[in-house]
Structure 1
């Protein structure tokens, strides 16, 4: 067992040495920056989708209001024509549209809040990515300068490549640590952005029946008001004609 452990340790050391020799910390930093940009773009795409969904709901709400105004006009025209049944139907459809607008208002408010959270997360994340970019370039410049100095001194003093690799490994470890810290901060911002809400609605039979009762009550009230208004106007015309 001891021999196997020693053999495994030797293999790991050789693999690490080989990786250290061929791995360029500058490329690792650039790759980390690209991944952070990808995450930032995902957040921005998510925000765009939320805003688009909210705009669709607002357009749907606007169409419902247009339809409500049309139904009011139709109810009045139907009552003038003596078709109370058509007036009742128009008012039923109007109140159904009003219930739909209430549901849309809730969904629009939820999407606005979600968009606000994602906008804040996007701003914080964009700042972190830009800070990482600046620091990355500084570290890369320092690394390149140090690498050049090592090569010059090696050529002058004849120091072995193995000794030079010690300093390079320390630099790489420091750079990787900073890269992982930046990635962790970026992931924190993604987590704080929240989760999209499922806006699908599954109403049970009781809820649908209650909505029907609400619609019927509203229809009866509006129909009574409409009749009263018609009678009042008719009475005014009769009185005016009598005075003349």
Structure 2
């Protein structure tokens, strides 16, 4: 039975191993379920066909047993009636039926074994599909969380990069402030070097004052001193 071997291969597949190989279980799990549903339809059809064969084989065997029993009964009746010739005919027929029964029994045993295997595979496939359906939402939820975590990680990396940029900007700003302070200090030092006594600055004060104001101040100073 090629169909039995084919579906035995299907049933022997390890669902967890297949899921581990999937790049995106949230998408592939639906496809795998569709494949299993398709396989289940085929298994059901084959199982029904093989179970029907088992039923036909059993019916043929039962009919043969009935005929054998019937020939035995007629042979006994013929003997009781003193008709040995008729009894021999019934017994000959019984012998033919018995030989045929051995073949029918072998056929029925094979059909029953095939039907049992197919029913086992059918039940296993139904159980696997039910289990996978129950786990599908959990798998998809885990994948959604994983994808969200990946996004968060990417955003976190981007934010970390922004912080580095801000730190670099702060360093540049501090450097600019330091350069400005140094330039102002240098200007102050240059001014002190050109006028160590401060007279230039003092002269500038008087130079900038109006002449009348200086004359008035000088007259007031002389009057105070009696000059």
Give the TM-score band, short-chain normalised. 0.3 to 0.5
Per chain length, whose mean CA-contact separation is higher, i.e. which structure has more relative contact order (CA < 8 Å, sep 6+)?
1
TM-score, normalised on structure 2? 0.45
Larger Rg: 2
TM-score, normalised on structure 1? 0.42
